[in-house]
């Protein structure tokens, strides 16, 4: 699932590509985007990003809201649009664009230059400077619909502070997130993922931030020292920014990487995320995992000082998550 870093990256690119221009906004062939005509042909004012939500603001105070969810993704390109393929939900295109056609698929790596090897599968978008992007296609989002100003504002009001916030307003002030966390008995692991408390932090960053600050993920919010919450917030900003630029989430420090290299090698980007069953880079203890509120949590029992009972609740190595999941909830 894209976390805040990825969403803010799309916003920055699409601002550069489309802001101030008249655009064609079209539904895919399955017609699951019935609102397209509301903004088609209008001028894009700018693209907003808050947490995991994108808002393409058009003249007339209309916002095309996109939430990528777990499976949504953009494909970008230059020149004429390709034939609609797959589960295409929406297309955005510069009105009157297109001469030579250059596809995003194909020899992406040859065009990328110093490419870090992002785990994302859609790394084909990397070669395009945003000013060359004539169109994007959107597939698999949780939402793609047009909001009026009131509905957009209501969404903003629901979302917690965002470490990547770059807009006026209170999304850059973490105080209300701290207040909420300190009033709750819910585990800090769950609270960090709750988008009404903090927006933009997903499963990778929550696991890694808790490890980096040596916090037991099962600690109730009310028992986490304010000093630790402040440190987590402060730390999240450069981590998310780096992920935004690189399209690769790297949370390990050079000194902790087995390779000792400045650029993390494959498999040493994270301390705990998806490293269950492997030894901790710092203490050597085996990393554990468990399903919490429908998403898998990873932790180091020694560095994060979890209790024997908490450790015993971890999934046994080799257990299928699907089998353990049952009635799970999705978080936005
Ligand atoms: Zn450890």
Domain boundaries, the chain: 4-157, 165-325
* CA dist., res. 89 & res. 248, Å (int): 26
Hey, is 295 helix, strand or coil? strand
The residues annotated as belonging to the active site are 2-3, 52, 295
Residue ranges in the chain whose pLDDT is less than 70: 97-127, 168-170, 318-332
Domain 165-325 in CATH 3.40.47.10? The answer is no
> For the chain, how are helix, strand and coil distributed in percent, rounded to 5?
30, 20, 50
| pLDDT tens for each residue of 127-142 | 678 888 999 999 999 9
pLDDT number for residue 191: 97
Strands 62-67 and 23-27: unpaired
DSSP of 134-182: -EEEEES-SEEEEEEHHHHHHHHHHS---TT--SSSGGG-THHHHHHHT
Fold of the CATH domain 4-157 = N-terminal domain of MutM-like DNA repair proteins (3.20.190)
pTM: 0.85
Neighbours of ion ligand 1 (CB under 5 A): 280, 282-283, 285, 300, 302-303
pLDDT number for residue 2: 86
3-state secondary structure string across 28-79: CCCCCCCCHHHHCCCEEEEEEEECCEEEEEECCCEEEEEECCCCCEEEEEEC
pLDDT number for residue 314: 95
- Measured in Å, residue 328 CA sits from the centre of ligand 1 at 28
pLDDT number for residue 176: 94
89 neighbors 64 (Cβ within 8 angstroms): no
- Measured in Å, residue 279 CA sits from the centre of ligand 1 at 8
- Measured in Å, residue 284 CA sits from the centre of ligand 1 at 6
Q: Name the residue with tokens 């509301």.
A: 38
Is the torsion defined by CA of 227, 228, 231, 233 positive or negative? negative
| pLDDT tens for each residue of 239-295 | 999 888 777 899 999 999 999 999 999 999 999 999 999 999 999 999 999 998 889
pLDDT number for residue 85: 82
- Measured in Å, residue 257 CA sits from the centre of ligand 1 at 13
* CA dist., res. 122 & res. 127, Å (int): 11
Q: Which of 272, 235, 232, 267 is nearest to 248 (CA)?
A: 267
pLDDT number for residue 316: 83
């Amino acid at each position: 699932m894209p976390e805040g870093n990825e969403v803010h990256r799309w916003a920055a690119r699409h601002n550069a590509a489309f802001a101030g221009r008249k655009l064609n906004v079209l539904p895919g062939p399955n017609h699951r985007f019935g609102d397209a005509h509301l903004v088609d042909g209008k001028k894009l004012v700018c693209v907003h990003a808050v947490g995991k939500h994108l808002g393409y603001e058009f003249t007339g105070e209309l916002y095309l809201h996109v939430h990528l969810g777990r499976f949504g993704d953009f494909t970008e390109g230059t020149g004429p649009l390709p034939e609609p393929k797959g589960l295409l939900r929406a297309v955005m295109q510069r009105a009157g664009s297109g001469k030579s056609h250059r596809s995003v698929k194909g020899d992406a790596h040859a065009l990328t230059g110093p490419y870090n090897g992002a785990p994302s599968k859609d790394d084909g978008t990397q070669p395009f400077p945003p000013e060359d992007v004539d169109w994007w296609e959107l597939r698999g989002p949780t939402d793609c619909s047009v909001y009026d100003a009131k509905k957009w504002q209501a969404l903003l009001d629901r979302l917690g502070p965002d470490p990547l916030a770059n807009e006026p307003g209170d999304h850059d002030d973490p105080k209300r997130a701290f207040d909420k966390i300190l009033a709750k008995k819910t585990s800090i692991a769950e609270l960090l993922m709750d988008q009404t408390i903090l927006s933009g932090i997903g499963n990778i960053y929550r696991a890694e931030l808790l490890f980096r600050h040596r916090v037991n993920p099962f600690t109730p919010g009310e028992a986490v020292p304010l000093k630790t919450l402040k440190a987590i917030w402060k730390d999240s900003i450069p981590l998310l920014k780096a992920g935004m630029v690189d399209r690769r989430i790297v949370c390990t420090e050079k000194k902790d990487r087995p390779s000792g290299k400045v650029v993390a090698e494959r498999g040493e980007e994270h301390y705990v995320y998806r490293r269950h069953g492997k030894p901790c880079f710092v203490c050597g203890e085996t990393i554990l995992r468990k399903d919490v509120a429908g998403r898998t949590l990873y932790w180091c029992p020694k560095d994060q000082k979890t209790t024997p009972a908490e450790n015993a609740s971890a999934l046994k190595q080799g257990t299928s998550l699907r089998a353990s999941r049952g009635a799970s909830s999705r978080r936005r």
